[in-house]
Structure 1
Amino acid sequence: MASELPPGLRAALERELTGVSRRDLADRAAATSRAYRAGRGSAGVIRGRDDALAYALTRLPATFAACAAAFGEAQARAPGFVPASLLDAGCGPGGGTWAAREVWPSIASVDWLDASAPFLDLARRLAAGIFEARITRGDMATATPAAADLVLASYALAEVAPAQQVEVIDRLWDATLGLLVLAEPGTPAGYARILTARDALVARGASLLAPCAHAAPCPLAAPDWCHFAVRLPRSRDHKVTKQADAPFEDEPYAYLVAARPRVVGAPAQARILAPPRANKPGIDLKLCTPEGLERRFVPRRDKAAYATARRLSWGDAS
């Protein structure tokens, strides 16, 4: 799945950057990153238009790429699913919506829910002339979300107090007509939020399509955690604002795709949980399967299996 921002979104970001000091954006982006790492929510971090723009320039490409990867796997697991409506809960500047529309051009109706006025204003400006969204300014912990075929909450559950997360997941599931997709940072804390959501959704009778190969308790034990990574290119402004030299970055993410019974789909038979390790005798794979964790060795002498294994990457279905 492509991780580069679509042309319309790139052009909209460039328009927003006209006449804006890159040094100021870099300072704001650094302050924002420190605040988020300290556990502060968006309400205390994104105070105005320039804060929202600094966030979008530095983080929107990564959240877009992570959502695009999760959506690509959802599409692979349920190829007949063609959503007409989307709810992006905790939408921020709207990167997840752009990713969804790239994967499913069938989406004609979009609802945004977010508590941040600066984020919602920026999301509206970025989408101007390309698509429209119905906007609800509200807290995910208390708002009643609009029903949609596809419901997304990306990099949003951290904004919800731990004691309220299951209640929020229940509301999002109640709003889901087809698929619910959750994406979080690929950290132990992000994975813990995904795991909480997973348990709640299994209890509600949801079918898990990805990344899990089963609905049994997750077989991973600390300090291990389920996460993946997507590589995305950095624009010149992205590099300047992040004060980085590399032309790309790798975004770690954790995700979950849950389906209603009306969606025809099935999980993978196995999921690769770590980068394959190639050595002279063959390739080692770490897999999640319906039977639990499995270490699979594919010998070089098995030419057909080895050729297949060489094409596999971290996060792929196997």
Structure 2
Amino acid sequence: MAAELPRALKAAIDRELAGASRRDLADRTAATTEAYRAGRGSASVIKGREDALAYALARLPATYAACGAVFAEARRTAPDFAPRSLLDAGCGPGGGSWAAREAWGSLDAIAWFDASAPFLDLAKRLAGDDLAATSTRGDLAAGPFPRADLVLASYALAEISPAAQPRVVASLWAATEGLLAIVEPGTPAGYARLLAAREALIAAGATILAPCPHHLACPLTAPDWCHFSVRLPRSRDHKLAKGAEVPFEDEKFAYLLAARPGVATEPRAPRVLARPKAGKPGIELKLCTEPGALERRFVPRRDKAAHAIARRLDWGDAL
């Protein structure tokens, strides 16, 4: 099922788009995409209100969808976790905060932290009276961050210099009272950033909830990397901004969920690392398992009970 934006957020985006030039937004979106492909951060292109709006039109739905998928897994692995406070570090226009509020109705205090004034201003306008948050403009590499039950850094580490990333991860973890969620692009570079964060968090005493079912070395080897996918619908304006015809988008993302020792969690389970391959004889699954090994498991059709379970599995699910 495609990940739909909340109705209030869609209405707020539509209000922002009223009277805006779709051609201008498409040009600004293209400039942002070019900057990312060239290895530059959003600060190099998000200079004003129109740039922030173009970014939100093109990227906020994907950010919301990826964070929503990660938070769904957080709810599965830690079903009793009910955060009251959220720190959205590198919040951009606030898509991750909307996803968190949809996942946990218990949230009543949201703190935004971002270096971009245009992003923070847009986040406030989109929130209106539907999402109460306080905002702080600051450099993620410098902090400091307020403590929160749930800490989110979505598509934020890519904006920070490699030398500063370990310090930022340590600061995010220090601010975490319960769960830390880090979401990155589903690229080899995003995966590499998460591997480094994972190693540091384990050394700091964190429990890795997902996607890894273990604390051992990642069993994947290049050119393979750990990432997942979520499908989201494209509105007419979204398609125009991205120059796309297809009515949906598949957002590739990588993520890490880390918990403080006091958070109650479900037992570990193998993770499906690719779309299951179904054929007449049965279904083949690519799994990351609890012993820290990569396994290809074949579930024959003749084993009706196991096959029925395998048929319901998708990329990213826990077995």
User: Which of the five TM-score ranges fits, normalised by the shorter chain?
Assistant: over 0.9
1:212–1:267 Cα contact (<8 Å) kept? no
Q: What amino acid is aligned across from residue 277 of structure 1 in structure 2? A: K
Return the offset for 1:268: 3.3
Q: Distance in 2 between matches of 1:296 and 1:133?
A: 46
Return the offset for 1:194: 0.8
Q: Distance in 2 between matches of 1:283 and 1:15?
A: 47
Structure 1 unaligned segments of length 5 or more: list them: none
TM-score normalised by length of structure 1? 0.99
Q: Distance in 2 between matches of 1:203 and 1:160?
A: 22
Partner of 1:223: 223
Partner of 2:162: 162
| Residues 1:307 and 2:308 aligned together | yes
Q: Deviations over 1:93-152 (max 9, x none)?
A: 000000000000110000000000000000000001112211110010001101000000
Q: What amino acid is aligned across from residue 306 of structure 1 in structure 2? A: H
Q: What amino acid is aligned across from residue 294 of structure 2 in structure 1? A: L
Q: Deviations over 1:156-214 (max 9, x none)?
A: 00111111111100000000000000000000001111111101100101001011000
TM-score normalised by length of structure 2? 0.98
Q: Distance in 1 between matches of 2:175 and 2:269?
A: 29
1:1-318 → structure 2 map (5 Å cutoff): 3-266=3-266, 268-291=268-291, 292-318=293-319
Determine helix, strand or coil for the equivalent of 1:163: coil
Q: Distance in 2 between matches of 1:244 and 1:180?
A: 34
Return the offset for 1:3: 1.3
Q: Distance in 1 between matches of 2:174 and 2:266?
A: 21
Determine helix, strand or coil for the equivalent of 2:88: strand
Structure 2 unaligned segments of length 5 or more: list them: none
Q: Distance in 2 between matches of 1:234 and 1:2?
A: 10
Determine helix, strand or coil for the equivalent of 1:258: strand
2:300–2:307 Cα contact (<8 Å) kept? yes
Q: Distance in 2 between matches of 1:2 and 1:181?
A: 21
Q: Distance in 2 between matches of 1:195 and 1:3?
A: 27
Return the offset for 1:267: 5.4
Determine helix, strand or coil for the equivalent of 2:222: coil
1:64–1:95 Cα contact (<8 Å) kept? yes
Q: Deviations over 1:17-55 (max 9, x none)?
A: 000000100011011100111111122110100000000
Q: Deviations over 1:243-281 (max 9, x none)?
A: 101010100000000000111013531000001001111
Q: What amino acid is aligned across from residue 78 of structure 2 in structure 1? A: A
Question: Could you say if the C-alpha distance between residues 245 and 172 of structure 1 is closer, same or farther in structure 2, counting changes exceeding 3 Å?
Answer: same
Percent identity (aligned):
68
Return the offset for 1:2: 6.2
Determine helix, strand or coil for the equivalent of 1:47: coil
Number of positions where the alignment pairs a residue of Structure 1 with one of Structure 2: 318
Question: Could you say if the C-alpha distance between residues 289 and 173 of structure 1 is closer, same or farther in structure 2, counting changes exceeding 3 Å?
Answer: same
Q: Distance in 2 between matches of 1:182 and 1:216?
A: 19
Q: Distance in 2 between matches of 1:177 and 1:314?
A: 30
Q: What amino acid is aligned across from residue 65 of structure 1 in structure 2? A: A
Q: What amino acid is aligned across from residue 228 of structure 2 in structure 1? A: F
2:35–2:42 Cα contact (<8 Å) kept? no
